[in-house]
Amino acid sequence: MMAVRSIKIMFCTVLALSLLLPCQTVYAVKLNLGGALNKAKEVVDAVAQPSGSAPAGEETASETTGAAVPGNTGGNRIVFSKSPIDPATPTNLTNSFQAGDTIYGLIQIGTTWRKLYDAGDVSELGIMVGLGADGKEDYQYITLKKAQYIDSNYLVLDIAPDPEKMTAYKDPDMLYGEGKGNRKIGPIAFTYDLAQLPPGKHTVKFFVRNYGEHPAVGELEIEGNDFSFYADLHEKVKSASDAAGTLPPAGMINKELEGQMRALLENAGWSNILRIVIIDKDWWLDGNTSRYLNVAAAAKDSNGECYWCNTQFTQPKLIDGSWGRLELTKTGIKRPIPEENLNK
In a domain, 304, yes or no: yes
Give, in degrees to the nearest 5, the angle at Cα 43 between 40 and 49: 135
The reported pLDDT for the residue numbered 79 is 97
The reported pLDDT for the residue numbered 14 is 42
Distance CA 29, CA 77 (A): 33
Q: Which range of residues forms the domain containing residue 31?
A: 1-48
Helix 228-244 / helix 187-195 crossing angle, nearest 10 deg: 160
In a domain, 265, yes or no: yes
Q: Would you call 263 helix, strand, or coil by DSSP?
A: helix
pLDDT tens per residue, range 289-324? 999 999 999 999 999 999 999 999 999 999 999 999
Contacts of 307 (CB under 8 A, 6+ apart): 298, 299, 300, 301, 334, 335, 336, 337
If asked whether residues 99 and 232 sit together in one domain, one would say yes
In a domain, 176, yes or no: yes
Contacts of 273 (CB under 8 A, 6+ apart): 262, 265, 266, 297, 298, 299
pLDDT tens per residue, range 240-253? 888 877 888 888 99
If asked whether residues 201 and 260 sit together in one domain, one would say no
Tell which of 189, 222, 244 closes a domain.
244
Predicted TM-score (pTM) of this structure: 0.67
If asked whether residues 108 and 127 sit together in one domain, one would say yes
Distance CA 2, CA 113 (A): 30
Examine the pLDDT at 260 and tell me if it is beyond 80: yes
Distance CA 261, CA 43 (A): 29
User: How much of the chain, in percent, has pLDDT values that exceed 90?
Assistant: 58
Examine the pLDDT at 62 and tell me if it is beyond 70: no
The reported pLDDT for the residue numbered 212 is 75
If asked whether residues 37 and 98 sit together in one domain, one would say no
Between residues 137 and 35, the one the model is more confident about:
137
If asked whether residues 296 and 223 sit together in one domain, one would say no
Helices (H), the chain: 2-20, 23-28, 33-48, 113-116, 147-150, 187-195, 228-244, 255-267
Q: 173 with 149: CB under 8 angstroms?
A: yes
Residue 140, number of CB atoms within 10 A of its CB: 20
In a domain, 250, yes or no: no
The reported pLDDT for the residue numbered 275 is 97
pLDDT tens per residue, range 120-161? 999 999 999 999 998 888 888 999 989 999 999 999 999 999
User: How much of the chain, in percent, has pLDDT values that exceed 70?
Assistant: 78
Q: How many domains does the chain have?
A: 3
